[in-house]
């Protein structure tokens, strides 16, 4: 497999960055993870546009997107990756061993690996005790500051779950560690609005735009009632994945629901029909 580091495509085993890189020292960076289907990065333009938005949100000068696009295609092609994921990471560049940034050129790293996808599969989730801050400086940005997600996912796995769910400060449903959440509430497919703090996921965007669903504030109390009949997650890797248990309790009848199956089937057709 090959990687791109600041203008050079090289073997991944030879790819290095500075020990003073601010992305390594403080998590000062942004990233995108993009699905590759049959050698083609999926929804690449949407991902690059979000990369630029996230960089601007961190007050970083965004990278040239034409350069990033060509480098991404080059890494996938040279690696002969058929099905997998490619990750684009852009940091503030080399700085000091402190929180202060130095006005320097950013670091751009692109790497890829094979992986399997979760469309139409099922998972259990656990609600973590920590809250997402929908008013925080990083809300809605896809940054490399992921320690909170690592801790939350570890919490979930200790409870035999494959994903963790966060509520926000207002005690409404927010998101997963690396996924958006959809619920079937009163026979309608809904997902939290961006104002409640979730990342503007690309799969979420495609589902709402091309398949269906609506935004709606979702109080956490609905999970302890019979108002929710189905739940599913969306993300680049999970695609459309059913949630059959929350904290050990079944969702609906504990099986993949009909609307979730319908959305997963529609997404499968969507990814076959379009690459961008």
What are the pLDDT digits (tens) for 113-132? 999 999 999 999 999 999 99
What are the pLDDT digits (tens) for 206-265? 999 999 999 999 999 988 877 899 999 999 999 999 999 999 999 999 999 999 999 999
Is a pLDDT exceeding 70 seen at residue 100?
yes
Which pLDDT value is given to residue 161? 98
What are the pLDDT digits (tens) for 143-168? 999 999 999 999 999 999 999 999 99
Q: How confident is the model at residue 16 (pLDDT cuts 50, 70, 90)?
A: very high
Q: Name the pairing type of β-strands 214-215 and 188-191.
A: parallel
Is a pLDDT exceeding 90 seen at residue 61?
yes
What is the CATH superfamily name and number for domain 122-274? D-amino Acid Aminotransferase, subunit A, domain 2 (3.20.10.10)
Is a pLDDT exceeding 70 seen at residue 57?
yes
What are the pLDDT digits (tens) for 21-32? 999 999 999 999
Same fold, 2-114 and 122-274: no
Determine the Cα angle at 53 with ends 48 and 59, to 5°. 130
Q: Name the pairing type of β-strands 188-191 and 180-185.
A: antiparallel
**What percentage of residues in the chain have a pLDDT greater than 70?**
99
Do 107 and 99 meet the contact criterion of CB atoms below 8 Å apart? no
From the candidate CATH numbers 3.40.190.10, 3.30.470.10, 3.40.50.620, 3.30.420.40, the one assigned to the domain spanning 2-114: 3.30.470.10
Domain boundaries, the chain: 2-114, 122-274
Is a pLDDT exceeding 90 seen at residue 273?
no
Q: How far is CA 42 from CA 45, 130, 206, 209, in A?
A: 9, 33, 11, 16
Which pLDDT value is given to residue 275? 62
Which pLDDT value is given to residue 226? 78
Give the pLDDT mean for 80-91. 98
Which pLDDT value is given to residue 190? 98
| Average pLDDT value over all residues in the chain | 96
Which pLDDT value is given to residue 103? 76
Q: Name the pairing type of β-strands 29-37 and 84-91.
A: antiparallel
What are the pLDDT digits (tens) for 194-206? 999 999 999 999 9
């Amino acid at each position: 497999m090959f990687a791109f580091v600041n203008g050079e495509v090289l073997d991944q085993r030879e790819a290095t960055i500075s020990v003073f890189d601010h992305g390594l020292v403080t998590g000062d960076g942004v990233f995108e993870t993009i699905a590759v289907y049959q050698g083609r990065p999926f929804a690449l333009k949407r991902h690059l546009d979000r990369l630029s938005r996230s960089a601007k949100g961190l007050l970083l000068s965004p990278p040239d997107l034409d350069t990033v696009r060509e480098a991404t295609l080059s890494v996938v092609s040279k690696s002969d990756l058929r099905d997998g994921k490619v990750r684009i990471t852009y940091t503030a560049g080399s700085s000091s061993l402190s929180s202060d940034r130095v006005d320097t050129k950013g670091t751009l790293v692109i790497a890829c690996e094979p992986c399997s996808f979760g469309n139409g599969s099922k998972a259990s989730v656990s609600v973590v005790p920590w809250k997402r801050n929908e008013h925080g400086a990083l809300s809605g940005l896809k940054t490399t500051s992921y320690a909170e997600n690592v801790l939350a996912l570890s919490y979930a796995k200790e409870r035999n779950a494959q994903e963790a769910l966060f509520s926000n400060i207002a005690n409404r449903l927010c998101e997963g560690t690396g996924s958006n959440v959809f619920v079937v509430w009163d026979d309608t497919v809904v997902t939290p609005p961006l104002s409640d703090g979730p990342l503007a996921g690309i799969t979420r965007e495609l589902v709402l735009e091309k398949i269906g669903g609506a935004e709606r504030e979702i109080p956490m109390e609905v999970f302890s009632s019979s108002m929710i009949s189905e739940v599913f997650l969306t993300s680049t890797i999970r695609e459309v994945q059913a949630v059959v248990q929350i904290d050990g309790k079944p969702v609906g009848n504990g099986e993949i629901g009909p609307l979730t199956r319908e959305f997963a089937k529609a997404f499968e057709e969507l990814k076959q029909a379009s690459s961008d």
